[in-house]
Amino acid sequence: MTPSGEGTGTKLIHEKLTEQIIGSAIEVHKSIGPGLMEAVYEECLCYEFGIRGLKFQRQVAVPLFYKGKNLDCTHRLDVLVEDTVILELKCVEHILRVHEAQLLTYMKLLGKPVGLLINFTVPVLTQGIIRRVL
């Protein structure tokens, strides 16, 4: 099983973009290692995206519409890359189902088919990457 959560040999949606994102995350992890706060990894990762020419938005509001009304309980996703791939960054001992549910919910609410959950608190970053597709 690959970090994508999908079998090998499969054509992935937004494969080249997710490869660039994962490469950026690996570069950050190799440079500063595990054990820091999530905000540090977000800052470094966005800097790396800038170096690579990737467009991104940080702390993007995720609106919640309920029965036709926009409710004032806005959530924020960590990073949206190229208006295409949602990133949720974590610095936790273990990824929980609630973390994956959070990512999937953001993907559904924003209509983005691809998301990456990246946990920087691992010895080897590829062990901390989960790719989800709607």
* 68 or 97, greater pLDDT: 97
HSE-up of residue 91 (Cα within 13 Å, Cβ side): 13
Whether residue 121 is predicted with pLDDT greater than 60 in this model: the reply is yes
Residue 10 lies in a domain: no
For the ranges 7-21, 50-64, 80-94, which has the lowest average pLDDT? 7-21
List the beta bridge partners of residue 117: 88, 130
115 vs 95: CA distance, rounded Å: 15
Q: How far is CA 70 from CA 65, 66, 73, in A?
A: 4, 6, 9
Q: How far is CA 115 from CA 19, 28, 31, 79, in A?
A: 12, 19, 24, 10
Whether residue 117 is predicted with pLDDT greater than 80 in this model: the reply is yes
What does the pLDDT read at residue 72?
79
Q: What percent of the chain has pLDDT over 90?
A: 78
pLDDT digits (tens, 9 = 90+) for 32-58: 999 999 999 999 999 999 999 999 999
Could you tell me whether strands 69-81 and 85-90 are parallel, antiparallel, or unpaired per DSSP bridges?
Answer: antiparallel
What does the pLDDT read at residue 9?
52
Whether residue 2 is predicted with pLDDT greater than 50 in this model: the reply is no
Q: For the chain, state the CA radius of gyration.
A: 15
Residue 66 lies in a domain: yes
Q: What is the mean pLDDT of residues 75-91?
A: 96
Domain hosting 67: range is 15-133
Residue 93 lies in a domain: yes
Residue 1 lies in a domain: no
* 37 or 64, greater pLDDT: 37
Q: How many domains are there within the chain?
A: 1
114 vs 132: CA distance, rounded Å: 6
Residue 117 lies in a domain: yes
What does the pLDDT read at residue 69?
87
Residue 32 lies in a domain: yes
Which helix or strand (DSSP H or E) is residue 69 part of?
A: strand 69-81
pTM, to two decimals: 0.86
105 vs 35: CA distance, rounded Å: 27
